[in-house]
Amino acid sequence: MKQTIERFNPNISNGLTNKQVLQRKEEYLFNYDTSVQTKSIKRILFDNFFTLFNFINLILAIAVFSVGSYKNMLFLGVVIINTAISTIQEIHSKRVVDKLSLLAVSKAKVIRNSKKEEVSIYDIVLDDIIEFSTGNQIPTDCIVKSGEVLVNESFITGEQDSVTKVPGDMILSGSYIISGKCIAKVEHVGEDNYTYKISSGAKYVKKINSEIINSLKKIIKYITFAIIPIGSLLFYTQLNVDGNTFQDAVVKSVAAIIGMIPEGLVLLTSTVLAVSVIRLSKSKVLVQELYCIETLARIDTLCLDKTGTLTEGSMEVKNFIPINSTKDDMSNILANIAKSSEDENSTIKAIKNYFTNISNEFIVNTKIPFNSKSKWSGINYKNVGTYIIGAPEFVLKNNFNNYTDELKKYNKDYRVLVLAHSNNAFNNKQLPDNIELIGFILILDKIRKEASDTIKYFKKQGVDIKIISGDNPITVSKIAKQVGIQDYKKYIDMSTLKEDDDISNIVTNYTIFGRVSPVQKKLLVEALQKNGKTVAMTGDGVNDVLALKASDCSIAMANGSDATKNISQLVLLDSNFASMPKVVAEGRRTINNIGRSASLFLVKTIYSIFLAVLFIFVGESYPFMPIQLTLISVVTIGIPSFMLALEPNKERVKGKFFKNIISKSLPTASMVIIAIAILTILNKFNIITDSYFSSLSIIITGICALTLLFVLSKSRKSENTKLPFSIYRLSIAISMSILFFIGLTHFNWLFNVFQ
């Protein structure tokens, strides 16, 4: 039976007392974090050590141990080292992400002891009084006590239409405030929330669509099905080969099975991704979804919301131009609006900073907060009428054409808003009738100093830039020109679009999209994707949420809205757009290097499977022992794959991952298969002895694998060098060749070469 909870009913001006907050925490009635942000250390250890391939390797090691061939167990040491490195890196990555996540946790404005204070959303207690405003995501179910807000509940209900919430209405955790301001009382916390767990509503989790993981799962699936029947048949065949003992049959069958297992491939992938998370953390980038690093490597189109990316997100009023008013009257009106407005967007903040002197104060009747869809806000005053601030074409409507010439003059240099008046009240929260223009407000965005260099980087990397903004396209075009966007003249006013206009053609033919509604932002992203583009989207406001959800990779600014940060896969903690080149470069480095290293692993897997099948049919003794394959694995896969995985690599990822790695590994694997087949024929006809057969097999296999290393050492087109080889990669190939030679000559007794 559920215990009855004493409910507090604090005054919304006073809130809870410290004593009441402490009581709630003692009763465990606070909004504790019910989500698991990262895997626990226990889970990381389990996932890394208790894998299918580790289990198979252990059985193989026991089999070799049971027949007394102890040195052939050395392969198990390589497996343990690989697993340990991967585990250590993943634990380190987890700790980094957990620390950054604490920095990124959303705050809530609560009223306690008659004062406003900011607390973590996980410190909210039952019956707390919270103040919500535009951009806030609701962390826990609340009942509105005062004010009015427009709320989007799409994360919970799937419905995109916004809902108005007034006193007495419930606002649910996971929804977010599109416009307005309200005071609400916490109704549920923790698991009592409507969404059961706060993370299920507050986080929008995309289905992981990782081509690398899907490809690796496919490879592992096929290998798993192949290992048992091929290994069993080979063991049976080896038992019946003349001159083979039971020990020989076990050792050689184990060697074949070990060769088929790409034991370090999955571990290498998780290790490299973990290293990427740590690298990005040093650039103040929080990776909220690990596999978005892969998507970053593939992006060819970057959609930017102007505010907060190209510009600092802050604005300043440069001037105001009265049309049907005097300078003093217009200044007084704007000062009243600045004082009365509860909007907290950058436009209103700029007006509040500029207009401070009120000569005649108005009494407020009704407020309509700014809405990114309607693009205006307004206040109705007692005995004065209604004043509206907003985008000229949205406020003036039919009268807009009367002022186009004058607006064009100002639009060249400024973002222009209109101040308008009507003697009528709002028409069911819509614009009143008989609106008359009072004047223009000229505003400038502050452009980020680093924006030009960042745009230059993406241009050089072949990434197409699209600017999607709610502002006037002419204003956006001007900013685009200043930051160096090439096709800044290709702009369009999305508010003029008709329902039957082809978005697919529009998104191809234009670079700058102005007066874009939140739904249109999403449609533009989806149109790009339908055109075969891989799209990353940056944003900081609630009007970007739909587009961020639709994009292949979503990137939020830390100073943006709660909703934006919570649904994004990456968060720029310093809200610095200049971090983007580092983010994209890291994605490319990671995936290109994983692909290159994966091709080294698959060479051994491919030739081992084919050779095992070959020796089932030819009935000859399998040429390799586990200790010999360990030498090949260390010098041609283990060491070089790890070193190559950490090398800088800025090439954009092209093609399918599986096809790319197979195309690199198949030629080398084929060389090995053909060479071993020829040696087998020579051995069968006694042209070479059994001891030479095994030794020559290991030498030729090593040389073929090292040849692939030298092939991979060729310089890429993206590298600014005239040299045919990368010095770094070439030095790895040469070092591994020397190491292989030393193993064959100085440690021939260990690896059974010419013994």
Active-site residues: which are they? 305
Concatenated DSSP letters of 27-54: TT-B----S--S--HHHHHHHHHS-HHH
Rounded Cα distance, 198 and 431, in Å: 37
Residue type, 141: D
3-state helix, strand, coil in the chain (%, to 5): 50, 15, 30
Strands of 113-238 (E only): list them.
115-120, 129-133, 142-152, 163-165, 170-171, 176-186
Beta 176-186 vs 129-133: how paired, if at all? antiparallel
Paired tokens of 16: 């809870």
Beta 107-112 vs 553-557: how paired, if at all? unpaired
- Alpha-carbon radius of gyration of the chain: 33
Rounded Cα distance, 281 and 168, in Å: 43
DSSP alpha helices (H): ranges in 619-726?
A: 626-633, 639-645, 657-684, 690-712
Place of tokens 């060098």: 721
Burial 289-306 (b: 16+ CB within 10 A, else e): bbbbbbbbbbbbbbbbbb
Phi, psi of 459 (to 5 degrees): -60, -45
The count of other CB atoms within 10 Å of the CB of residue 52 is 13
Phi, psi of 11 (to 5 degrees): -65, 140
Strands of 74-169 (E only): list them.
107-112, 115-120, 129-133, 142-152, 163-165
Burial 598-627 (b: 16+ CB within 10 A, else e): bbbbbbbbbbbbbbbebbbeeebbbbbbbb
Burial class of residue 639, CB neighbours in 10 A (0-12, 13-18, 19+): middle
Residue type, 401: N
Paired tokens of 15: 């809130």
Q: Within its chain, how far is the Cα of 49 from the centroid?
A: 27
> 626-633 and 580-618 helices cross at what angle (nearest 10)?
160
